[in-house]
Structure 1
Amino acid sequence: MRLEQLSSLFIASRLEGDAGTLVTGVQADSRKVRPGDLFLCVPGLVSDGHDFAAKAAEAGAAALVVERDVPVDLPKLFVRDARYAMAAVACRFYGYPSRELKLIGVTGTNGKTTTAAIIEHILRDRGFGTGLMGTINMKIGDRWYDTERTTQEAIDLQMNLRRMRDAGADYAVMEVSSHALELGRVKGCRFRTALFTNLTQDHLDFHKTMEQYRAAKGLFFSRLGNEFADDPDAASYAVLNADDDASAYFAKQTSAQVIRYGLGDGADVRASGVRLTAKGTQFTVTAFGESVDVKMKLVGKFNVYNALGAISSTLVERIPLAAIANSLERVGVVPGRMEAVEGSADFLVVVDYAHTPDGLENALSTVREFCEGRIITVFGCGGERDRTKRPIMGRIAARYSDYVIATSDNPRSEPPEAILGEIEPGIAAEGIGRDRYELIVDRREAIHKAVEMASPNDVVLIAGKGHEPYQIVGGVQLHFDDRLVAQEAIRGRSK
């Protein structure tokens, strides 16, 4: 592709240098640049791509996209917004892959990973080619890959959507974070369906207020398009949680058809007769005049909502409700989401990703539904993130648990003791004494203590990290997996 073909995407731009320069790749990370690449100098939250233009040139970059001049002797395309240009260039370079796929996006504070996984499972069960992209991993064809963030940067996103389509995908299901929306990572993506799970406190270190957080999510629905379609295959859909107040706001942001799901009478897709056990969940789903019974291995009321969102998103693809229910029976537990740790005979250890107040409350209330003994909770709060949620999570842990061990999550560069010091007032506010909680900085020690003190019928909930195989301490990423540490502790008990 020639540089002039990319420069033609922007009216408010200026090209200096050879317009016929051949571009064989696009990059915004100077460490990944290969000879022939176009390097986009994108200002970031921590660093500025303009400062790495020389390194990109040394690596063989053929040209630059810049917002301001840099002392590098390469053809330069000057643009007003390099981040916007990154999304536009990536879409053009990879041939607008979302136009060839039915793209389903899932956004919300909690439930994105599980909901996306359920949707992909249902579609795959019906024989469709599928791709999946999210917090835990990415599926292209029959292969799975680890991912670094919930929603990839625009270049990687467009490249992987192209790979999915070339591998035979009819649908791509992806998690869409508020950061990605605010930073324009999904600009240029044509979404078939935008699904909203819930909106609760999180990421206030980035968005500052809940209003700004909601507005970032609203961008997803306002970008669904402003046209009506006669052809159902060309229509777009907003699938909203009717039991979450933010849904009314999102419904006003879009011209797409709105489908509401929930437990209340106002939902188009509604669950009733919900029965929760330690081994799974049963309910009746009613959608557009039809009802079927659903059984699934996923536990908890919040997973009923995740399933309803997935049901709604696949119903619009003309999949029969009975077939969807049949598929739900075979959905397995998503790694790190209410995942039982094997090895304990008379008590249960559960690992969950719950790292927000709402997520922790959902996990604990689910455990309370089936726990016949005590609930012992191990949790922490991430460093360099929203500090206001720390006492809130402490209070929630104390309210639902019989014993609480507050410990380190990913402290990053914050002193772990300081984080625990901000959690403790919330625990104490519930009126429990020091005989019912303790602070243990070392997460491994905390997990071992919880497992050692468990009695028959108790449930140990280890919350916050879920599937993550690492812990970030002092800016260093260390290998650490709650599930493996819990198994280690269980084996230690039996000696």
Structure 2
Amino acid sequence: MLLAELVSVLAPLQLSGSLQKQITGIVYDSRLVEPGNLFIAVPGFVHDGHDFIAEAAVRGAVAAIISREVLVPEQLTSISVTDSRRAMGVVADLYFGHPSRKLRVIGVTGTNGKTTTTFLIDNLLRMAGHQAGIVGTVHVRAGELRLEAVRTTPEALDLQRWLASMVEADVSHAILEVSSHALALDRVVGCEFDIAVFTNFTQDHLDWHGDMQNYLAAKARLFSGLSSGSKRNKLAIINLDDPVAPLLVRESKVPVITYGIKQAADIRAAEISLTPRGSRFKILQAGKLRGVTSVPTPGYFSVYNALAAIAVASFEGVTWASICDILPESAPVPGRFEPVRAGQPFDIIIDYAHTPDGLENILRTTRDFTSGRVIVVFGCGGDRDRSKRPLMGEVASKLADTVIITTDNPRSEDPRQIVGDILQGIMKSCEVIVDLDRASAIRRAVALAAPGDAVLIAGKGHETYQVFADSIIHFDDKEVAQQAVEVIRNEGMDSRRNSSFDRWGNS
């Protein structure tokens, strides 16, 4: 594609050099530049792409899009724009042939529940015969191609590349987790959505957004932008039980379907039955019974996620009978209220909860089905919203019997400072243990557990790494918990050889 064609969709402030250059690819990472590439200099959180233009030129770039004054090597055509990050989405959309226009694109946003909701939508559509792709926190999948995700919503260039891969793989529906960061940083610019789904809104990411108003404004952009573009048959799907629902309904300039449990929503769950093995409920649509179904995860939050997925599936033509049949067979979502079953006489649950509301939801659900004590292990991420740390400490101390505070991904922060912030919110009504070694903290929780207890390991969910200031190490909560159970089982076998006592009460 000629550079002139790519530049035609921009509004350059200044141009220098020839536009009659054949562009072989687009990159924003100078280390990945190949001869003939267009390099987009994007300011980042740590590094600024403008500082690497010379390196891009050495590697063979023929043009650069910039958004501040910088020395550009004379062999490069220079395209100056107001915002290079936004320009990246616009240019990538054109370069890859407007892939979102060839797909039904479903965006799911909200503080909690995005991953589970996208997985449920994916399962409903695929089991009903559609070809679906997914972009989210756990992985990215287009046809047979699947990769672990780097972030919830990829950079605009990467997102457009994945959407193009879906088109090539004959995918009909692209299901995207859309984070507030992605909306604020224009990662979904160039992506035309058909359906926008809102799960819920609670505190998170205030380190980035500054306050809840800005955070909500970022979320609302997904809905206010639905009316733009050339596609028709669009829809906003909104959780009517959330207090911000009226604002999002007003922002949506396309038809709206609401869902919920408490309010008179278009799609409602009624006669909900919660058990340790899942949630069963009736589906009402416009007050009419459409069927009875279940999901294999307990808790009201699970019902809300299911209702959002049901609303999408029904709008996309999946029959109510199929929805009711498919949902109970949904595969577990990695790290989302995921049980660890290693033969122990108590529950171990892994969950990604890393907000006050998310932690409260899973603790209340765990408490509902636990006859013994609830032991929670959690920490808070470094270089992230500090204001939520004492709130999470307060929630944990109110709803758990034993709270073990440990590291999450401390990043560049001192883990002791993070723990100190959490401790400010701790109530004095429970046992509190601080263990900065996450593996040790998990082993301690498992060792403390007795038959009938529950160990909840929160914060990292599906993640298989831990991020420190100077390193990233392999770390898997589920793996460590299974190993801890095995160690105690072996100790019990040894003790039975010497006496008839087993610490888990077996003889």
Q: TM-score range, shorter-chain basis? A: over 0.9
Instruction: Report if the CA contact (8 A) 2:72-2:78 is conserved.
Output: no
**Structure 1 letter corresponding to 2:133:** G
* Equivalent pair of 1:276/1:370 in contact (CA under 8 Å): no
Pairing of 1:339-488 with structure 2 (within 5 A):
339-427=338-426, 430-432=427-429, 436-488=431-483
Q: Answer whether contact 2:344 2:485 (CA < 8 A) is retained.
A: no
Of 315-324 and 8-17, deviating more is 8-17
Say if 2:11 and 2:81, in contact at 8 Å, map to a contact too: no
Q: Is it true that 1:287 corresponds to 2:285 in the alignment?
A: yes
Alignment partner for residue 124 of structure 2, among 122, 125, 142? 122
Structure 2: 5+ residue stretches without partners? 491-507
Instruction: State the aligned residue count.
Output: 487
Residue in 2 aligned with 1:71?
72
Is the partner of 1:186 in helix, strand or coil?
A: coil
Cross-structure match for 2:499: none
> 1:278: which partner in 2?
276
Following TM superposition, by how much is the alpha carbon of 1:293 offset from its aligned partner in structure 2, in angstroms? 0.5
- Residues 121-200 of structure 1 mapped to structure 2, 5 A cutoff: 121-200=123-202
Deviations 1:109-129 (A, max 9, x none): 000000000001101011111
> Counterpart of 1:206 in 2: which secondary structure?
helix
CA contact (8 A) 1:226 1:256 kept: no
**C-alpha deviations, 1:414-468, integer Å up to 9, x for none?**
11111111111211xx3326xx111111111110000001100111000000000
Letter in 1 for 2:487: G
CA distance in 1, matches of 2:321, 2:34: 50
SS in 1 for 2:425: helix
Q: Give the distance between the partners of 2:86 and 2:393, measured in 1 at CA.
A: 40
User: Between the two proteins, what is the percent identity of the paired residues?
Assistant: 45
CA contact (8 A) 1:285 1:292 kept: yes
Q: 2:243 aligns with which of 240, 245, 257?
A: 245
- What corresponds to 1:6 in structure 2? 6
Q: Distance in 1 between matches of 2:263 and 2:388?
A: 32
> For the residues of structure 2 that align with 1:314 and 1:262, how far apart are their CA atoms?
16
The equivalent residue for 1:61 is 61
| 1:30 aligned partner | 30
CA shift digits 1:177-233 (9 cap, x unpaired): 000000001012110100000010100000010001000001111100159x9xxx8
Residue 56 of structure 1 aligns with an amino acid whose one-letter code is: A
Report which stretch shifted further, 301-310 or 44-53: 44-53
Amino acid at match of 1:402: D
Using the TM superposition, name which of 278-287 and 152-161 deviates more. 278-287
Name 1:91's counterpart in structure 2.
Answer: 93
CA distance in structure 2 between the aligned counterparts of 1:142 and 1:293, rounded to whole angstroms = 33
Question: 1:232-251 CA distances to partner (integer Å, 9 max, x unpaired)?
Answer: x8211110000101111111
- Partner-residue secondary structure (3-state), 1:448: helix
Q: Note the C-alpha offset of 1:265.
A: 3.8
Deviations 1:254-309 (A, max 9, x none): 21111110002421010011111111111111113342101221221101000000
Deviation (angstroms), 1:344: 3.2
Q: Deviations over 1:8-47 (max 9, x none)?
A: 1123443321211110100111111111110011222322
Secondary structure of the residue aligned to 1:191 is coil
1:225 to 224, 227, 234: 227
Q: Distance in 2 between matches of 1:283 and 1:475?
A: 48
Please list every run of 5 or more consecutive structure 1 residues that lacks an aligned counterpart in the other structure.
none
1:7–1:13 CA contact under 8 A, matched in 2: no
TM-superposed deviation, 1:342: 2.0
Deviates more, 1:436-445 or 1:152-161: 436-445
Is the 2:240–2:263 contact (alpha carbons within 8 Å) kept by the matching residues of 1?
A: no
Q: TM-score, normalised by structure 1?
A: 0.96
1:236 corresponds to which residue? Answer: 234
Do the aligned residues in 2 keep the contact of 1:373 with 1:456 (CA within 8 Å)?
A: yes
2:115 partner SS: helix
2:138 and 2:149 in contact (8 A); partners too: yes
**Contact 1:7 1:15 survives alignment (8 Å):** no
Deviation string 1:336-370 (CA, Å, 9 cap, x unpaired) is: 00111121331111000000001100110111121
Q: What is the deviation of 1:69? A: 4.0
Q: Deviations over 1:143-184 (max 9, x none)?
A: 321110000001000000000111010000010000000000
Q: What is the CA–CA distance in structure 2 between the aligned matches of 1:63 and 1:474, rounded to whole Å?
A: 35
Comparing 46-55 and 153-162, the one that deviates more:
46-55
Q: Is the 8 A contact 1:226 1:255 kept in 2?
A: no
Between 265-274 and 289-298, the greater mean CA deviation after superposition:
289-298
Which residue in 1 is equivalent to 2:505? Answer: none
The structure 1 segments of at least 4 consecutive aligned residues displaced by more than 4 Å after TM superposition are: none
